Amino acid sequence: MSAPETTSTEEKSDNNPYHKTAQYYERKLNLPVIRSIRRGESTRIYASFNALIRPDDTVLEIGCGTGYYTRDLIKRAKRVIALDDSESMLDIIRNRLSTEEVARMKFVRSEATAFSPEEPIDVVVHIGVLDYVPDWQAFLNHSLTHARRAVIFTCPSNGLCGHMFHLLSKWEGVDIQRYARRQLEDFLQEKYPEWRCEIHRVGINSGWTGGSTWVCTLKREG
């Protein structure tokens, strides 16, 4: 059995505090309120995986973190490229997967838009990454350029819950980006009219809270 591939490119500092300590990232994800929000997100995200990921696909997961979704993706796809700019994150993923699963993966330490895959990518996934990306249009351009069939991503909403997330993150010294549905739809319609876009609001979702997260699925038509 071949050894797993690992590729490193120059690491860039960014706005994401969890890349400094994978353990802090894990602790925060296990807070009760975060777990509650994440359950709602996961239901919609897994529905997108069911609809769009095929057994013979190669999936690029940008900002894989400690592998919350990586463990599911490698069960669905033929091959997964797990990309993160933290080696600590990638180490945790390696230890959580079976030998057989790791053999079908490539681990890449890189800032997202600095990475150009050398193989065809069917689906690009980035969950919770646009939270930290000021130049979100360039980031989506990168994803859509490399995806042959679909892109699945999440980003914070501009509703009350998204605003609370923004304020709490400011306290930690992190600038969280928030997005309006129309903002995303207008960009995609203008730049990528050949892609069909579906956007769902999830998280703490009611008429006045506005939900915490958008789950977006983009599928190339034709």
For 32-68, the pLDDT digits (tens) are 445 555 666 888 999 999 999 999 999 999 999 889 8
Longest dimension (CA), the chain: 54
Q: What percent of the chain has pLDDT over 70?
A: 70
pLDDT score recorded for residue 72 = 96
Range of the domain at 184: 5-220
Total domains in the chain come to 1
**Does the structure show a pLDDT above 70 at 159?**
no
CA–CA dist 212, 160 (Å, integer)? 8
Which position has the token pair 């894989």? 64
Which position has the token pair 């979702």? 205
Q: What is the domain-level CATH number for residue 200? A: 3.40.50.150
**Does the structure show a pLDDT above 60 at 118?**
yes
**Does the structure show a pLDDT above 80 at 22?**
no
pLDDT score recorded for residue 1 = 42
Question: In this predicted structure, which of 53-62, 68-77, 83-92, 157-166 has the lowest mean pLDDT?
Answer: 157-166
| Averaged pLDDT for residues 20-34 | 53
pLDDT score recorded for residue 166 = 47
**Does the structure show a pLDDT above 90 at 167?**
no
**Does the structure show a pLDDT above 60 at 19?**
no
pLDDT score recorded for residue 13 = 45
Q: What percent of the chain has pLDDT over 90?
A: 56
